[in-house]
A and B are shown apart, each in its own frame.
Chain A
Amino acid sequence: MRDNVPDSWRRQSDHVIPVSSHCRHCRETFIHERHACPRCGRGTMTVKPASTAGVVESWTEIFDPPEEFHRMRPYIIGLIRLDDGARLSAPIVDVESGMLVKGMRVEAVVRKVYVQGQDGLIEYGTKYRPSMKVIKESKPPSGASLAKSGKQ
C-alpha cells in the first residue's frame, strides 16, 4: 500500500537529514520544513538542519502495529525535545521501554524503517537511541509500573 518509489525519493532527504523550522515571529522551532508556522500561520520560517540530540519527554510501546511494522513489534515511539527546541515523535531504539526515563539524552541515528516488498526500495529514516550506555542493574522504575500506580 505504501510502495511508492517517487514518494520515497521526494521525502528521503527529510527522513535521513531532518531539518527544523524556526518562526521568526513566534520564536518557536518545529521539526520538518514548514511553510506556515503551526502557531501563528505566518510564513516567517527559517529552515536549518535539526539538532541531532535531545531528551526524552514521553514514550509509548506499540504492541499492536500496522501490518507494515508487524515484524518489529513491540517498538517504542518517543516524544523527544531536540536541543534546538523542536519537538518530534519518533522511534526510540537500542533500549528496552523499562529502561527509559524522562529527560534521558538521546541521539539521532539512521536506521531502516520499512522495506517495500521483496524487490522494492528499502526506506531509511531517523530514529533515536540513548546517548550513553544504559546499564540494566541501575534500572529506574519502569514506565509501565509507574503508569499503573498513577503517580508518574
Chain B
Amino acid sequence: MDVRVAATGGVRYGELWTLGIGDLMRAAAADVLKNFDGDMKDIDTLVLSNCFAGRALGIHTLIPLAYDELGFRGRIFEVTGSDATGGFAVQRAAILIESGVAQRVLVLGVEKIGDLLASQVQSALSSLLGSEQVFQGQTLASDYALMARQYMETYGVTLRDLALISVKNHANASLNPMAQFPFPLTVEQAAESQEIASPLRALDAASICDGASALILEKPGKNSSPVSIVGLGEGRDLPGLHDRKDLTSLAATREAAQMAYEAAGVSPQEIDVAEVHDVYSIAELMAIEDLGFARPGQAKTWVRKGRTALGGDLPVNPSGGLKACGHAPGATGVRQAAEIAVQLSASAGKRQVADASVGLSHSVGGNGSQCAVTIFRTIAIRG
C-alpha cells in the first residue's frame, strides 16, 4: 500500500465550551486545508469519525451536519469503532484510495462530549463494554484496573512504574502547543492521586474531552508528500474480560500489529516512533509489549530506563499521548495518525524524534475489543 498524507490539522483538545460539534468540524477542516496545497473542491470523499454524538448530543449520524456545515458535496462515509474510530477511519480512507474509488480523502474526526456531567461521561465509556458489564455498573476504568492488577502481580510492576508513563507523557506534552495539559507532572503526584478503580489512580487516566482532528490522504503523485501509509492491521477480541485467557495483554493489539507489520513488510524493531492508545497508563505498558517492541514483562524496564522517552531508542507518544493531549474518543485516532505524519515529515518542532522514517499509530476501542494499527514510512522523493 502507498497512500500519501497530504496534510494534517485540527484543534487543541480540551473543555471547549464555546464550540459546538459543527464549530469543531469547521475548525478542523479549515486547519487541515490551510496546510494543504489546494481547497475543498480538490477533495472527492469525506470520511467522518465520531464515537459519542448519538449519546452526548442525540445526533446519530453526522453526515447531514457535515454536508450543511462544511458545504461538502462529494461522497461521505461515516465510520464507527468505539474510541478507536479515528484509527479505523484513517484505514478506511486509505482503503478507498488504494482501491481506486477515491483520489483524495478528507478524514475528519470529531467529538463533543464535554457538555455531559463527569458521571455521564463514565456511563458513556461503560457503554463501550459488553451489555452485561454495563448492567452491573462496570466501567472502562474497572476493566483496565483488573488488567492492571493482573499485570502488576504477574510482572512485579508498581504504581510508581505506572506513574512513570503519565510523567513521561506530560513531559512530552510540555513541548506540544496542541496538548490539553502541557505541563510536567511528578511521580508522586501521579502515584498518590485519587483512586478511580483500584489500583488505578486519576492521573493514570486520560481526560475524556472535546476535540477534532483531520488528515488529507491522496494517491501518490508527482508532488506528493513523502509520508506514506504502508500497512494496515485490525484486531478484535471478546468484549468480556472474564472470557479472555490472558489479562496481561490485549489480543486485539497483537492481532492488528501482526497484520500491519506483514502488510508493510516492516518489523517492530524498525519502528522509530509510535503513538499508542494510553487511555490508562497500564494500556501503554501493555501496548509496548503487544506491538512487539519489548518482550512480555519487559515494558517496565523500558519505561524505567527511559527508552520510550523523547531521545530514547523508541519514543512512544511524543505528542503527550491520550493522557496529556486529551482523549476526544471519536477524534483521537486521527490525531495519533496526524502526529506520526508530522514526526515523519520532521515538522514536530521541540518534540521532534530525530531521524524518524518509520512510524506506527495504535488505536484501541473500549477495553481492547477492537484495535487498529497503522504503519507509516517516508518514501524517498525521486530526483
Contacts and interface: CB of A to CB of B under 8 A. Distances in A.
Query: Considering residues A66, A87, A114, A125, which has the most beta carbons from chain B within 10 angstroms of its beta carbon?
Result: A66
Given A66-B119, A66-B126, A79-B241, A72 B198 contact: no
Contacts of A67: 117, 119-120, 122-123
A135 interface: no
Contact of A60 (B117, B119, B133, B197): B197
Given A143-B198, A150-B152, A65 B145 contact: no
Interface residues of B, number: 44
B interface secondary structure, majority: helix
B139 interface: yes
A10 B238 CA distance: 22
A77 B150 CA distance: 14
Given A66-B122, A143-B198, A152-B149, A125 B243 contact: no
Given A67-B123, A150-B159, A61 B197 contact: yes
Contacts of B32: none
A63 B152 contact: no
Contacts of A31: 242
A67 B199 CA distance: 21
A70 to B, nearest CB: 5
A151 B241 contact: no
B197 A125 contact: no
Interface string A15-39: 1000000000000001110000010
A120 to B, nearest CB: 15
A132 interface: no
A151 B138 CA distance: 26
A149 B122 CA distance: 29
A113 interface: yes
Interface string A122-137: 0101000000000000
A82 B181 CA distance: 44
Contacts of B161: 150
29 contacts: A1-B55, A1-B123, A59-B149, A62-B138, A63-B196, A63-B197, A64-B202, A65-B119, A65-B139, A66-B126, A66-B139, A67-B119, A67-B120, A67-B123, A79-B241, A87-B243, A89-B133, A89-B241, A113-B136, A113-B137, A114-B135, A123-B135, A143-B149, A144-B195, A144-B198, A147-B149, A147-B152, A150-B156, A151-B156
Interface of A: 1-2, 11, 15, 30-32, 38, 58-70, 72, 75, 77, 79, 87-91, 97, 113-114, 123, 125, 143-144, 147-152
Interface of B: 55, 117-120, 122-123, 126, 131-139, 141-142, 145-146, 149-150, 152-153, 156-159, 161, 194-200, 202, 238, 240-243, 247
